[in-house]
């Protein structure tokens, strides 16, 4: 089981004790644990280790074969020279030729604030043959972002979305001015009927999950069905039946302004995690005797952009209201091929915040699992929990986020412009 982990702050090289400093961005930790397999006369630990490697200089992570390292992003290089490495155009990108004037009707920024990873062991079909009793193991890792409040994230979102308008104009697109868009009654109705901000959104992966808090510019809401949740989605469906859904309002915005509607979504992550899962191999035939989670604190940016085209819009009158909808099969989209990863410092401290209760439970569950297995009782499980706090300074964090979001948005716009 995991042993020897020392609690405390992880400081940048050369920073004395008691001084926060700006920490490295490449702290990487691997947590491993293993199953116990016992019979009445002997017991054997199949795989049991804990490896903590701060300031690991290698890129990528994985189990067995390492994951392919993402391309390095250079903030000093042009967007056009790097776009192909970081942006993937969708099949409908060919319809960019029909883009005329653009209104940015939706700009969402999602900040990760909690990342979890877990992995476990599991016996295979014949793992307890011959009187053997297994005690399984589970590893849980949690990273929490500390130092950013609601006001800081809202201010950062406002800047990102304002900059996006200027970036789109600089890329060669004609834009409806933000002031004209804000004065449009249907634009106001669209966001009045959207989901209010901020709210939480959970994205799950294989053995991992990340919680984001979702923002839009002040005075706006979120109506992308991927982020608003089931209950809010049902509410949107009810509004659509009344002709008051954000999509119908947006259709009228496009019609009255003669503009295409751009949606921009940005994800800001502060960790990278990978778990080797909890299921036995080969469909349950082979035992999984070790559990491992790789975790690394680093800033990365991802997202997507799509443009709903006025050229493929149909309008009609219903219940005394003018309604318009766009052909969604002809919506050019551009999304992340590889995340844009910051090579610069973004946090001040990385603190092991595993609680006393966690540590007591770690020891207790291991002891109980061993005793149960020695007694021949099946189903024993030890759990090992580790928590880290990634502490950031709002000014430093905000500056790094803006630098790399600006680069990502420039590349998306460059890719879209080249498709036009």
Q: Is residue 413 part of a domain?
A: yes
| Residue at 354 is within a domain | yes
Please give the average per-residue pLDDT across 116-144, as a whole number: 65
Residues with Cβ < 8 Å from 113, sequence gap 6 or more?
Answer: 144, 145, 148, 211, 212, 213, 270
Report the mean per-residue pLDDT for the chain. Answer: 76
Q: Is residue 73 part of a domain?
A: no
For residues 371 and 153, the model is more confident at 153
Tell me if 72 is assigned to some domain.
no
Is the pLDDT confidence value at 153 over 80?
Answer: yes
Answer yes or no: is 71 within a domain: no
**pLDDT for position 2:** 35
Identify the band that residue 243 occupies on the pLDDT scale cut at 50, 70 and 90.
Answer: low
Residue-range definition of the domain harbouring residue 342: 9-66+85-419
Please state, in angstroms and rounded to a whole number, the distance separating the CA atoms of residues 140 and 155.
Answer: 33
Q: Which residue has the higher pLDDT, 188 or 69?
A: 188
Dump pLDDT digits (tens) for 18-40: 333 333 334 455 544 444 443 33
Within 10 A of 388 (CB to CB), how many other CB atoms are there? Answer: 22
Q: Dump pLDDT digits (tens) for 246-281.
A: 889 999 999 999 999 999 999 999 988 777 665 554
Q: Mean pLDDT over residues 121-142, rounded?
A: 60
- Classify residue 75: in a domain, yes or no: no
What sign does the dihedral 309-315-318-321 (CA atoms) show? positive
| Residues 282 and 110: beta-carbon distance below 8 Å | no
pLDDT for position 27: 45
pTM of the entire predicted model: 0.75
**Do 357 and 22 form a contact (C-beta atoms < 8 A)?**
no
Q: DSSP assignment of 396-415, as one string?
A: HHHHHHHHHHHHHHHHHHHH
Q: How far apart are CA 50 and CA 73, in angstroms?
A: 32
Residue 1 resides in a domain = no
- The count of structural domains within the chain is 1
Q: Is the pLDDT of residue 372 over 80?
A: no
Over residues 212-226, the mean pLDDT reads 93
Average pLDDT rounded to a whole number, residues 191-200: 93
In a domain, residue 271? The reply is: yes
């Amino acid at each position: 089981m995991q042993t020897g982990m020392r609690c405390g702050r992880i400081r940048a090289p050369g920073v004395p004790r008691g001084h926060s400093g700006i920490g490295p961005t490449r702290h990487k930790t691997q947590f491993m644990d293993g199953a116990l397999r016992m019979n009445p006369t002997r017991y054997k630990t199949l795989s049991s280790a804990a490896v903590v490697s701060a300031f690991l200089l290698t890129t990528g992570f994985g189990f067995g074969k390492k994951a392919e390292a993402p391309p390095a992003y250079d903030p000093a290089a042009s967007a056009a020279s790097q776009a192909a490495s970081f942006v993937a155009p969708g099949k409908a990108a060919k319809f960019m030729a029909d883009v005329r004037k653009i209104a940015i009707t939706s700009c969402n920024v999602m900040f990760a604030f909690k990342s979890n990873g877990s992995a476990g062991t599991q016996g295979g079909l014949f793992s307890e043959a011959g009187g053997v009793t297994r005690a399984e193991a589970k590893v849980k890792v949690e990273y929490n972002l500390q130092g950013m409040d609601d006001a800081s994230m809202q201010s950062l979102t406002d800047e990102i979305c304002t900059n996006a308008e200027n970036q789109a104009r600089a890329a060669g697109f004609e834009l409806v001015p933000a002031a004209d868009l804000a004065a449009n009654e249907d634009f106001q109705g669209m966001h009045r009927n959207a989901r209010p901000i901020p709210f939480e959104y959970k994205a799950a992966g294989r053995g991992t999950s990340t919680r984001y808090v979702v923002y839009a510019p002040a005075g706006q809401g979120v109506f992308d069905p991927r982020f608003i949740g089931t209950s809010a989605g049902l509410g949107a469906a009810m509004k659509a039946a009344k002709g008051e859904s954000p999509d119908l309002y947006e259709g009228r915005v496009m019609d009255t302004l003669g503009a295409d509607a751009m949606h921009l979504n940005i994800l800001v992550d502060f960790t990278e995690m990978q778990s080797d899962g909890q299921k036995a191999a080969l469909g349950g035939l082979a035992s999984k005797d070790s559990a491992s989670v790789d975790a690394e604190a680093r800033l990365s940016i991802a997202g997507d952009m799509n443009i709903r085209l006025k050229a493929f819009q149909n309008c009609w009158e219903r219940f005394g209201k003018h309604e318009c909808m766009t052909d969604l099969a002809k919506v050019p989209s551009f999304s992340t091929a590889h995340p844009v990863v910051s090579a610069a410092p973004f946090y001040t401290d990385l603190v092991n915040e595993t609680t006393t209760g966690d540590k007591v439970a770690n020891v207790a569950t291991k002891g109980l699992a061993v005793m149960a297995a020695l007694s021949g009782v099946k189903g024993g499980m030890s759990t090992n929990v580790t928590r880290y706090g990634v502490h950031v300074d709002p000014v430093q964090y905000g500056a790094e986020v803006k630098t790399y979001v600006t680069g990502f948005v420039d590349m998306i716009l460059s890719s879209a412009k080249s498709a036009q």
